[in-house]
Chains A and B, each alone.
Chain A
Amino acid sequence: MRLKGIRGEGGAVRLVASTGGKGGTGKSTFAVLYALSLSKKGRKVLLCDCDVECPNDHLLLGVKLQKGKFIYRDFPRLNAEKCVRCGLCSKACKENAIFWVKGKPPMIFDELCSGCGACWTVCPQKAIEREKKPVGEIFETRVDRNLWLITGMSKPGISETGPVVRDVKKRALELAEDVGVDILIVDTAPGTHCNVIQALLGCDKAYVVTEPTPLGAHDASLILELLKIMGISSEIVLNKADVGKESVIEEIAESYGVRITVKIPYSEELVRAYSEGRLGRMVNLL
């Protein structure tokens, strides 16, 4: 099996992901601290927030997002005059987003539609037209001399967010080329499904951010499994390292043959900096 993703378009830019399976383990905290510490050392860094359903990196950096650029995708719109009520579109739709009763024109439910295009492809009358609808926004922020931030944000109500991540990353790779960054840090959503897979595609390496609890261990093993399937090498970042039971993560690390390379102790100062959107103060933690 050959899995390429979009690395070819990225050329030599190094892509590193911050991921973790479980939510709230500190993926964004690590991604932001990592980006800040490298940029402080004079490296040119692009941070790409691919948690498009709930993007937070800008809030941790304390920057305001300026006007964004919309991302559009095609959705079906029925041209009732051309429709012969054959029902083929409804049969082709795997998302059950097209409801059809014999003899009636079909009804399309946008909130279930993934925008795959099976309906307009199959329609013999070309009665289903494509209509561009915004599915998200891309924001670009120059945080400081060496640090750029790209934020992807899906439109609430959009079900398929994987394609939004794909467009956000494409733009990030363009910008990375334009300004000649040394590293592109990809901050992913929690979980392991399509939006996370899209974010991880083409990454050279992933940091799995987790916490020393049975929950952290369970979810870290799921994302490590995914990374193994994708052939991406990984390291573990243990956040809140001193709260809980470290051995549960050590066991997982051993079974997947990965190392715990970063440990961040629980710190009230870090929690405060996080909750005030001033993570920059904590850059010396890494």
Chain B
Amino acid sequence: MKIVVASGKGGTGKSMFASSLSLLFSEEKRVVACDCDVDAPNLGLWLGVTSYDIVEPISTSEKAEIDDGKCTGCGRCFENCSFGAIEKADSKFIVNPLLCEGCGVCRIVCPAEAVKIKPVANGEIRIKETVWGFPLVSGQLKPGETGSGKIVQELKKRAERMAHDVMILDAAAGIGCPVISSVTGCDYAVLVAEPTPSGFSDLERILRIVNHFGIPYGIVLNKWDINPDVSRKMMEWSGEKFLGKISYDREVINSIVNLKPVIMSESKVKGEIEDIFSRIRELVSTML
């Protein structure tokens, strides 16, 4: 089964919680951890991983290239590009690779056959057998490249092939393409929120995505004590979906500075996370 940890807002504690969940499940089940935040992959660091056993280049994106010699300067590519990726250069046209999505519309409309669509090595897949006894599948989108959603799909395929009972997926911030790719096909979603107006607003937005796919979910409130009033409101709003709350503790920051998983530390959040884990395990037990 697949459990995705998501939040909408960044920095609410997704990777911290996903790493804890992986470690706790691994005590009784075969786990594979999958870091689906290919823009800013941090799950490895929360598991103390700083080097990988396998690092492979991956190509999930294509980009257009205009042959200067063949281009007649008619501008049809420029007019038809939905991403504003074609720019005029003197009397001809060039592709801005930062904006090109490789959709191929320019190639289709070019009467001079001046456009070629070429594959691009846009990222990496990284795999590590962690010291905790379960594998981590991670990835990285090269800065300046596109196709993060498709890298996520590849990572999930890789993780799927590893022997496991539970896959823990750590999603990126936001609600766009890479997050939709992460959430698709999951059996349960843990939404990690913080008690601020931003945290509340972004929770509502990620929930629209989770509900769109009809995925059962629960809500975790992290750093609840930075604003107990907003926390109370969010707990009431969450109702039966509320899984539990985690305190703000500077020990959590020390633990990441020392690259030590939070639930291996002396932080008071350890017990709180274990309680939430018990609830999740109970909720998903029928799916296992």
> A residues within 8 Å of B by Cβ?
1-4, 21-25, 28, 51, 53-54, 56, 59-60, 73-74, 92, 94-95, 111, 114-118, 121-122, 154, 156-163, 166, 189-198, 201, 213-215, 218-219, 222-223, 225-226, 229-230, 243-245, 248, 271-272, 274-277
A154 to B180, CA, bound (A): 14
Given contacts A92-B108, A157-B209, A272-B227, 4 further A-B contacts (CB under 8 A): A94-B62, A114-B82, A116-B83, A218-B42
List of B residues within 8 angstroms of A274 by Cβ: 196, 198
Per-residue CB proximity of B158-197 to A under 8 Å, as 1/0? Answer: 0000000000000011111111100000000000000111
8 Å CB contact of A192 from B39, B208, B212, B257: B39
Given the contacts A117-B82, A222-B39, A229-B143, A54 and B174 also touching, CB distance less than 8 Å: yes
Given the contacts A160-B176, A161-B176, A218-B40, A275 and B230 also touching, CB distance less than 8 Å: yes
Q: Can you report 27 residue pairs joining A to B where beta carbons are below 8 Å apart?
A: A1-B97, A2-B89, A23-B11, A25-B11, A53-B173, A54-B8, A54-B10, A54-B175, A92-B108, A115-B82, A121-B108, A156-B175, A190-B173, A190-B174, A191-B37, A191-B173, A191-B174, A213-B257, A215-B256, A218-B40, A218-B42, A225-B144, A226-B144, A244-B253, A272-B226, A275-B195, A275-B226
8 Å CB contact of B84 from A53, A60, A160, A166: A166
Per-residue CB proximity of B69-104 to A under 8 Å, as 1/0? Answer: 000000000001011100101000010111101111
Top 6 A-B pairs, shortest CB-CB distance: A24-B11, A23-B10, A191-B39, A116-B103, A156-B208, A226-B143
Is A3 a contact partner of B180 (Cβ separation < 8 A)? no
A151 to B163, CA, bound (A): 45
Is B256 a contact partner of A60 (Cβ separation < 8 A)? no
Is B176 a contact partner of A118 (Cβ separation < 8 A)? no
Number of B interface residues in the complex (CB < 8 A): 64
- Name which residue of chain B comes closest to A226, CB basis: B143
Is A53 a contact partner of B205 (Cβ separation < 8 A)? yes
Is A201 a contact partner of B40 (Cβ separation < 8 A)? no
List of B residues within 8 angstroms of A157 by Cβ: 180, 208-209, 212
Instruction: Indicate whether B109 reaches chain A with its CB closer than 8 angstroms.
Output: yes
Is A158 a contact partner of B176 (Cβ separation < 8 A)? yes
Is B172 a contact partner of A191 (Cβ separation < 8 A)? yes
Is A214 a contact partner of B259 (Cβ separation < 8 A)? yes
Instruction: Indicate whether B276 reaches chain A with its CB closer than 8 angstroms.
Output: no
- Name which residue of chain A comes closest to B88, CB basis: A4
Is B146 a contact partner of A193 (Cβ separation < 8 A)? yes
List of A residues within 8 angstroms of B82 by Cβ: 73-74, 114-117, 163
Is B144 a contact partner of A192 (Cβ separation < 8 A)? yes
List of A residues within 8 angstroms of B87 by Cβ: 2, 4
List of A residues within 8 angstroms of B205 by Cβ: 53-54, 156
Is A156 a contact partner of B209 (Cβ separation < 8 A)? yes
The minimal Cβ–Cβ distance linking A97 to chain B, given in whole angstroms, is 11
Is A275 a contact partner of B197 (Cβ separation < 8 A)? yes
The minimal Cβ–Cβ distance linking A271 to chain B, given in whole angstroms, is 5
Given the contacts A191-B172, A214-B256, A222-B40, A161 and B198 also touching, CB distance less than 8 Å: no
Is A197 a contact partner of B39 (Cβ separation < 8 A)? no
- Name which residue of chain A comes closest to B174, CB basis: A53
A275 to B227, CA, bound (A): 7
Instruction: Indicate whether B9 reaches chain A with its CB closer than 8 angstroms.
Output: yes
A215 to B258, CA, bound (A): 11
List of A residues within 8 angstroms of B173 by Cβ: 23-24, 53-54, 189-191
List of A residues within 8 angstroms of B180 by Cβ: 111, 157, 159
- Name which residue of chain A comes closest to B178, CB basis: A193
- Name which residue of chain B comes closest to A224, CB basis: B143
List of A residues within 8 angstroms of B230 by Cβ: 275
A161 to B8, CA, bound (A): 14
Is A24 a contact partner of B174 (Cβ separation < 8 A)? no
The minimal Cβ–Cβ distance linking A109 to chain B, given in whole angstroms, is 12
8 Å CB contact of B9 from A24, A163, A223: A24
